[in-house]
Amino acid sequence: MSDIIQLLPDAVANQIAAGEVIQRPASVVKELVENALDAGATEITINIKDAGKTLIQISDNGCGMSPTDARMAFERHATSKIKNANDLFCIRTMGFRGEALASIAAIADVELRTKKVEDELGTFIHIIGSEVKTQEPAGVNNGTNFLIKNLFFNVPARRKFLKANSTELKHIIWEVQRVALPNPGIRFSLIHNGTPVYELPAANYRKRIVDVFGKSLAQSLVNVDEDTSIVKIFGFIGQPKFARKTMGEQFFFVNGRFMRHPYFHKAIMQAYEQLLPPDSYPSYFLFLELDPGSIDINVHPTKTEIKFENERDIWPIVHAAIRESLGKHNVVPSIDFDQ
Ligand code: ADP
Ligand code: MG
């Protein structure tokens, strides 16, 4: 019998990985902005056309890449962020899988311009569908600039199933909110079809929320601040009287990363028990910080799920922190005299 198993060519493997990591234009924005954060950028500009379908341009003033690294960055499993399996248990960067650029380059037309401060010349690379068309030295700004065009040009099914521009733009705006809120010290701009959507100057956490969501939401928020040996919790929660019928703004971050976490969402909602009108939801912006060795981020390619070593110990801490802060701001009635 003849053998029939073959290794897939890199371009195909990258396209398969892209299916998981890059679902829509907003995924490209997320991955590239996270790379800019990991590169130590203090200013990140996101310029998009037609909700990212025509163009996604992300530029940063981070550390930039050497000519060799600029080429390596597009290889699958190529990363500067971890070196061995042990590092997986102590992730301090947004990225570590070395998949995003290889994935994006497999399904789009990508131009990279990058330069390290100490280098005189930078690098220009043009890749279409994993194929390098050009790599040459170039006089470019310090930092890194990615231009992504023609996303999903070779994945017609994906391209066809992209939603209307208004929906794709909404997803991009959500991604920008999710990275901008936990990084208030970094300047972000988001420009869509030439019109600014966000101009967020460096600020503190509260001011960043104001800049993103407006003064009226921020005025309804009270502080949360709790520091224990296993977790530090800080941020803001909405007073119950401002709760709304729609889910509102509910943001939960772990070590600077946006998470969906139904288990802790419940801890928060239970802390509000009996304070909320039926079917209404408070806003919250909670930032948890804990030892990166006690969580596992490597659960899903998009990293919006996380495993905690001591989830059950953290639950009551979250619950108590919310309770305490509602109490401090006099929104938990201790004894109700108004009968
Ligand atoms: P990961 O972020 O998981 O390492 P990526 O495919 O997103 O994988 O990026 C590959 C590598 O390219 C990164 O590890 C980093 O060294 C480099 N890189 C990507 N984007 C930037 C950037 N904006 N500035 C500097 N280096 C970058
Ligand atoms: Mg990355």
Are 128 and 118 a contacting pair, CB within 8 Å? no
pLDDT of residue 103: 96
Q: In this predicted model, what pLDDT tens digit does every residue of 9-22 receive, in sequence order?
A: 988 988 988 888 99
Which secondary structure element, helix H or strand E, spans residue 127, and what is its range?
A: strand 122-128
Give the closest ligand to the alpha carbon of residue 80. Answer: 1
User: Which range, of 78-87, 222-231, 285-294, 326-335, averages the lowest pLDDT?
Assistant: 326-335
Per-residue pLDDT for 313 more than 90? yes
Q: 47 alpha carbon to ligand 1 midpoint, in Å?
A: 19
Mean pLDDT of the chain: 93
Are 268 and 321 a contacting pair, CB within 8 Å? no
pLDDT of residue 298: 84
Q: 38 alpha carbon to ligand 2 midpoint, in Å?
A: 8
What the chain holds in terms of domains, given with CATH numbers, is: 10-200 (3.30.565.10), 211-328 (3.30.230.10)
Q: What does the pLDDT average to over 196-223?
A: 94
**% of the chain residues with pLDDT over 70:** 97
**% of the chain residues with pLDDT over 90:** 79
Per-residue pLDDT for 137 more than 90? yes
Q: Say how many Å lie between the first and final Cα of the chain, rounded.
A: 86
pLDDT of residue 331: 61
What are the structure tokens assigned to 201, written together?
Answer: 């100057």
* Nearest residue to 160 (alpha-carbon basis) of 152, 172, 169, 170: 152
Q: 102 alpha carbon to ligand 2 midpoint, in Å?
A: 10
Are 299 and 309 a contacting pair, CB within 8 Å? no
Which secondary structure element, helix H or strand E, spans residue 131, and what is its range?
A: strand 131-138
More confident residue, 274 or 194: 194
Establish whether residue 36 lines the binding site of ligand 1, counting it when its CB lies within 6 angstroms of any ligand atom: yes
Report which ligand 1 atom has the smallest distance to the Cα of 97. Answer: 3
| Locus of tokens 């907003």 | 26
- 176: number of Cβ within 10 Å: 23
Q: Among 93-97, 189-193, 295-299, which range has the highest average pLDDT? A: 189-193
pLDDT of residue 338: 41
Establish whether residue 113 lines the binding site of ligand 1, counting it when its CB lies within 6 angstroms of any ligand atom: no
Q: What does the pLDDT average to over 63-89?
A: 95
Q: In this predicted model, what pLDDT tens digit does every residue of 223-260 receive, in sequence order?
A: 999 999 999 999 999 999 888 888 779 999 999 999 98
Q: What does the pLDDT average to over 26-38?
A: 98
Are 247 and 283 a contacting pair, CB within 8 Å? no
What are the structure tokens assigned to 122, written together?
Answer: 């930078």
Per-residue pLDDT for 334 more than 50? no
Establish whether residue 123 lines the binding site of ligand 1, counting it when its CB lies within 6 angstroms of any ligand atom: no
What are the structure tokens assigned to 210, written together?
Answer: 């104001």
Say whether 38 sits in a helix, a strand or coil.
helix
In this prediction the pTM is 0.94
- 319: number of Cβ within 10 Å: 18
Per-residue pLDDT for 335 more than 60? no
What are the structure tokens assigned to 325, written together?
Answer: 């802060």
Establish whether residue 217 lines the binding site of ligand 1, counting it when its CB lies within 6 angstroms of any ligand atom: no
Per-residue pLDDT for 171 more than 50? yes
pLDDT of residue 104: 97
| Locus of tokens 């019928």 | 245
What are the structure tokens assigned to 107, written together?
Answer: 């399904």
Residues 57 and 52: their CA atoms lie apart, in Å, by 9
Per-residue pLDDT for 144 more than 50? yes
Q: 216 alpha carbon to ligand 1 midpoint, in Å?
A: 38
Are 60 and 36 a contacting pair, CB within 8 Å? yes
Query: Which amino acid residue places its CA nearest to atom 21 of ligand 1?
Result: 35
* Nearest residue to 71 (alpha-carbon basis) of 137, 2, 167, 5: 137
What single-letter amino acid sits at 225?
D
What are the structure tokens assigned to 77, written together?
Answer: 């499993």
Residues 232 and 205: their CA atoms lie apart, in Å, by 15
* Nearest residue to 177 (alpha-carbon basis) of 220, 201, 207, 209: 209
Q: What does the pLDDT average to over 76-96?
A: 92
Are 250 and 302 a contacting pair, CB within 8 Å? no
Q: What does the pLDDT average to over 271-300?
A: 91
pLDDT of residue 337: 41
pLDDT of residue 333: 52
User: Which range, of 58-72, 127-141, 289-303, 322-336, averages the lowest pLDDT?
Assistant: 322-336
Residues 111 and 123: their CA atoms lie apart, in Å, by 10
Residues 50 and 192: their CA atoms lie apart, in Å, by 7
